[in-house]
Structure 1
């Protein structure tokens, strides 16, 4: 278990490295602040939960996680999963779901399941990401048009209904007051104010990086619209009161019945936390290697990363936060600003902690529409046009897998989308593998001899598994009967994959050919296939260098006796 625990080698306190980590940590902390608030609101738990998660989970994951450069905290994908859980079970259920999900992720790390994420195909990951981006955008529509989001509906349905309620008002909400879609005293529709806030935030976030790349665009945008809203006394909903200190740790009530009711939600949270964190850590390791050829080769330990993320969610749940995962966007900022060790992630969390203790008053005056604008722009940045074109142009099965995963993510939920995406990808992979499996009739080696026309040497290439077994059996049987073959030699040296169905099909093939009066010899059996073939009753293997001579001898005997059945 030693490699799953923190060690002194996790840090490098030399002045140059320390300076890089401090600078990167401060930068990421500034970038993460509005996102933590926004994802807390988007999850349905509240902005305070986002801040708590960024601080507590950020520190724990940094210390115990398996990546030197990963930034952890609340994310859009987790907010998407939590929103329906909050709607169905209430805000009070989140703490228990967070603890249960964290415990499951921790168990996966201890059981060394970190490599499982490598089995998720690229089209599924990209489709999943596209679907998450679409949901994040749709979740912000109610706040962007100044109406209260309805609960109990699909995200797309809620967004459409919110737009309808804003344009044809029957109860828009501003500062918690139903105002029939018009702000009292101004005659201006509520959606005009909120959409203006969203537009200003989007323009600043898109333009500022081209003008002053050193400035954190999202923080500048939020600060600007907050000041303007205060100066203009804009009647838009605000974040409201925030805690000026971290809450005391509290264990939630956990009865067997409640745990049973929330087991499915906890499993979804754990699956998402594991997948997203491992993918983010893997991306961070690749970015680090590109940016610094001297970066350590062990910058990513998947099992330890699961342990760290599990502990982070456990700690977050105790302090009233939400489940944490690795955050790809913030991690990318961390790498690009020169972070060298996990100290930068700790500094990022301390920056947000300083805001909690020193600046909750100003933060509470931030318009909710400003956070919606930040997340809308963030959702578009999650969608890489070049990546989408690459997936769609790669192959028809990959493109279909990508589209199906994205659509199911939006229409249903994230875990179902990954499951269906994996099934679709597996189907096309197995179909491709079955098509690649082939049987060829090879000529006999050496000079031709009398009776060779009664010997058929078949070479089976590729994979002998349930998807190809029946076809191979039919082709060999048909060719052998058609050509008046007395001895069949099956060459298996090119057979790379075999499952129980394939092994059984070979045994059935031998039995069928023998029933038709042929002798069957099997050569070139791979060592890893021998046990399986013996288990299904196939014991016809001979040495490769003896197979053809033995076949010729059997043919001579049969021809001398003049009967096919005794061959």
Structure 2
């Protein structure tokens, strides 16, 4: 086998399952199975609710939790991540369904899954580390607000307005609610919320969301309430098939697929990163994960879900947290979670179909509120004004416009504030000529550049140095310059050229080794009057400057 083939083979094996994925299974299989059963019970109402809320139906949500949950568990890069439909994906998918119809979901899942796989294979998994914390939390706050608003139609027993802004649609829906249905549905929502809050506070070991849905369903059945229900569900999984494709549909779904792929990658990696540092009951962290393999696993999960009639999937932080806190150590727990949901499809589909939609709305409303940590919000708002502004801006744009646009603008705002901070830390200081005072030192100026000289600060530094008067020699110290880019180097060229045109000799001192290639290629050294005007230590530069001043004085007296 050639070296190239061996390298390609090793690269490919990074994305494939191995025995290492189940290290420690002999000692943890019992807790893994129990954790998987617990997560499956918790995931049931969420999968149903997210399917309904996205517009593709409860069946698609359940299929996604089963198929994508199993594929991601086996192929993903995290040992404890649990995948399936999530609230963030619902927010992106709902407008796609409203515009292109439910038939588009399978194709857009396939397209987005291929894109996520490509991101993983290309090694971009670590890019999520560059997303600032305020952007992530603002994004989360915006998603939570949208999820809550999306449940208003379910909570009021009315039909939503597809394709409208979430806030406006919620207001229109609430204003069109009619009695007595709205009173019954709101009562079910309130009942589910109370059960979930009380059980979470006093009996954390119990599956609060499932019990809330069961009690609401029992009440609706016993009282024969006339409220919207989930409806009929299949008693088995459909056969896998490729969605219909044509150039027109591929073109119209290209941008939605890009948005879904970006969201799937970001949410899955953030969830896996959080899970990696999360401790289980034994206080042991869950451990590291492979970002690139996680992306390929999530991409394959969305592809598989689309082929079975599901929706795009991502890593689900809430279910992953339940998994870790239940003692999960290996992928077996996520596999068991998928098997539990599959058993429900085959054994209890009829009972699940009787669940009131308002009960699912109540589950998601409570889930949305819990997505936002008051402590985190206060910490960001009290940190710096720039971080607080990025946080608020990202949240507002998420609700008002689009999730991907919110991330883009949030990143742009964070980058702008960071550059502004870097620029403020950059400075030019005029120093006294070191050593004993000598005649003519008043005609020598020593400048020290500190911090960073890049495109955000170069213009200001150029102006400050260029304003110097009544000198014959300028020594520019570069040893304290930590960062230099092409714009900063070009600004140095302009400074040197401007001073030399005024008859001022420029000496450079202390060019850092890591900057030498840049200043040479951009032309900084070439712009000096002589190549010997580049010095490694300050005393030599000062002595050379004094010799220039003495020669000028002698020439003037001649």
Per-residue deviation, residues 439-476 of structure 1 (Å, max 9, x unmatched): 11223333232222222111111111111111101111
State the partner residue of 2:555: 561
Tell me if 1:527 matches 2:513: yes
Matched, 1:164 2:175: yes
Shift of 1:526: 2.0
Whole-Å Cα distance in 1 between the matches of residues 293 and 383 of structure 2? 34
5+ residue gaps, structure 1: 167-180, 183-188
- Scaled by the length of structure 1, the TM-score of the pair is 0.93
User: Which residue of 533, 541, 544 maps to 1:547?
Assistant: 541
The one of 268, 282, 302 aligned to 2:259 = 268
Equivalence map 1:429-440=2 (5 Å): 429-440=418-429
Number of aligned residues? 539
> What does the per-residue CA deviation read over 1:482-502, in whole Å, with 9 as the maximum and x for residues that have no partner?
xx2111111111112222211
TM-score norm. by structure 2 comes to 0.94
1:157-206 per-residue CA deviation (whole Å, 9 max, x = no partner) reads 1100111101xxxxxxxxxxxxxx35xxxxxx110010011010000000
2:233 is the alignment partner of 1:242: yes
Per the alignment, do residues 160 and 457 of structure 1 end up closer, same or farther by CA in structure 2, a change over 3 Å counting? same
- Distance (Å, rounded) in 2 between the aligned partners of 1:13 and 1:544: 58
> Are 2:478 and 1:510 equivalent residues in the alignment?
no
Aligned pairs for 1:112-127 (under 5 A) are 112-127=123-138
Aligned to 1:176: none
- 3-state secondary structure, aligned to 1:457: strand
Determine helix, strand or coil for the equivalent of 1:242.
Answer: coil
Please state if 1:394 is matched with 2:383. Answer: yes
1:142-153 paired onto structure 2 within 5 Å:
142-153=153-164
Equivalent residue for 1:209?
A: 200
Which one of the candidate residues 312, 321, 330 is aligned to 1:341? 330
Counterpart of 2:6 in structure 1 is none
- The correspondence for 1:129, drawn from 140, 144, 157, is 140
| Contact 2:45/2:360 (8 A) holds in 1 | yes
* Deviation larger for 204-213 or 350-359: 204-213
Question: Aligned runs of 1:463-542 on 2, under 5 Å?
Answer: 463-478=452-467, 480-481=468-469, 484-539=470-525, 540=528, 542=534
Question: Secondary structure of 2:320's match?
Answer: helix
Matched, 1:427 2:427: no
| Partner residue, 2:270 | 279
Kindly state the Cα deviation for residue 296 of structure 1 after the two structures are TM-superposed: 6.9
SS at match of 2:475: strand
> Residue 500 of structure 1 contacts residue 532 of structure 1 at CA under 8 Å; is this kept in 2?
yes
Residue of 244, 247, 255 corresponding to 1:256: 247
- Indicate conservation of the 8 Å contact 2:61/2:85, yes or no: yes
Task: Spell out the pairing of 1:337-416 with structure 2 (5 A cutoff).
Answer: 337-416=326-405
C-alpha displacement at 1:15, in angstroms?
4.0
Q: 3-state SS of the aligned residue for 2:277?
A: helix
The 2-side partners of 1:198 and 1:205 are apart by 11
Query: SS in structure 2 opposite 1:394?
Result: coil
- Superimposed CA distance per residue, residues 395-433 of structure 1 (whole angstroms, 9 cap, x where no aligned partner): 111111111110111111101111111111111111111
1:527 deviates by: 2.4
- Deviation of the 1:536 alpha carbon: 2.0
What is the deviation of 1:147? 0.7
How far 1:291 sits from its partner (Å)? 6.4
Structure 2: distance between partners of 1:294 and 1:216? 23
1:450 equivalenced with 2:450 (yes/no)? no
Q: Does the Cα contact within 8 Å between 1:443 and 1:457 map onto a contact in 2?
A: yes
| Contact 1:12/1:18 (<8 A) preserved | no
Aligned-partner Cα distance in 2 for 1:357–1:403? 45
Distance 1:354 1:85 in 2: 30
CA distance in 1, matches of 2:444, 2:307: 74
Shift in CA distance, 371/426, structure 1 to aligned 2, threshold 3 Å: same
1:65 and 2:71 matched: no
User: Hey, what's the Cα distance between the residues in 1 that align with 2:478 and 2:286?
Assistant: 43
The farther-off stretch of 259-268 and 1-10 is: 1-10
Residues 351-403 of structure 1, C-alpha deviations (whole Å, 9 max, x = no match): 11111111101100000000000000000000111111111111111111111
Gaps of 5+ in 2: 1-10
1:31–1:216 CA contact under 8 A, matched in 2? yes
Q: 1:113 to 1:563 in 2, by over 3 A?
A: farther
- Please tell me whether the aligned partners of residues 102 and 312 of structure 1 are also in contact (alpha carbons under 8 angstroms): yes
Report the 3-state secondary structure (helix = DSSP H, G, I; strand = E; otherwise coil) of the residue aligned with 2:321: helix
In structure 2, the residue corresponding to 1:496 is in which secondary structure? strand
- 1:28 matched to 2:39: yes
After the TM superposition, list the runs of 4 or more consecutive aligned residues in structure 1 that deviate by more than 4 angstroms.
290-297
Give, in angstroms, the shift of residue 270 of structure 1: 0.3
What whole-Å deviation, never above 9, does each CA across 1:302-346 have from its counterpart, x for those lacking one? 111111111111111111110010111111111111111121111
Residues of 1 paired with 2:325 and 2:553: CA distance?
78
Contact 1:457 1:491 survives alignment (8 Å) = yes
CA–CA distance in structure 2, aligned partners of residues 396 and 384 of structure 1: 19
Q: Does 1:48 align with 2:59?
A: yes
Assess if the C-alpha contact under 8 Å between 1:38 and 1:50 holds in 2: yes
SS of match in other structure, 1:488? strand
Give the counterpart of 1:220 among 211, 215, 218.
211
Q: Establish whether residue 190 from structure 1 lines up as the match of residue 181 from structure 2.
A: yes
How far is the alpha carbon of 1:151 from its aligned partner? 1.5
Measured in 1, the distance between the counterparts of 2:26 and 2:520 equals 65
